[in-house]
Amino acid sequence: MLIKIVFLASLLAISLGKSAPPITCNSAGACLASDCCEFIDTFCDAVDPENLPLHDSNSRCYNLSNGNRCDFMAFNTYKTNWSPSGTNCKTVLRNVTSQCSFGGHGKITNADPAYTFVVDVNAGPCNINI
């Protein structure tokens, strides 16, 4: 019984000690990053199964109704080729769009695989020739 209590207390201490993933905010942008929230699940679900080489990235662009765009990127900062976690992607990007007016980037620091996720709001529509 004592072992169960110690184990549960340890789990509680770990869960209470978790904080939001560290992020870096952009200092300027075409519009608010919160305008990009509607595309987070679509982007993260699309990049989740893709196995990316080390230091490679996958990106998507989504047009906003106001004529601007949301650029998303998942950058492999892991130590080997690996696919990004859709759950970690959503957590980081939701954190960025809620705390950074013009977007930014972040990652789950204790996660394997470690990916940096980016949302950037820019003027003009997506370029179809990229």
Does residue 43 lie within any of the structural domains?
Answer: yes
CATH code for the domain of 57 = 3.30.430
The pTM assigned to this predicted structure is: 0.77
Does residue 128 lie within any of the structural domains?
Answer: no
Domain housing 111: 21-122
Structurally, the chain folds into a number of domains equal to 1
> Is the pLDDT confidence value at 60 over 90?
yes
Does residue 87 lie within any of the structural domains?
Answer: yes
Do the beta carbons of residue 33 and residue 104 sit within 8 Å?
Answer: yes
For 17-39, b where at least 16 C-beta lie within 10 A, e where not — what string? eeeebebeebeebbbebebbeeb
> Coil, strand or helix: which one is 126?
coil
Does residue 14 lie within any of the structural domains?
Answer: no
Lowest mean pLDDT across 3-7, 32-36, 42-46, 124-128: 3-7
**Per-residue confidence at 49, pLDDT binned at 50, 70, 90?**
confident
**Per-residue confidence at 112, pLDDT binned at 50, 70, 90?**
low
Distance CA 96, CA 74 (A): 14
Does residue 29 lie within any of the structural domains?
Answer: yes
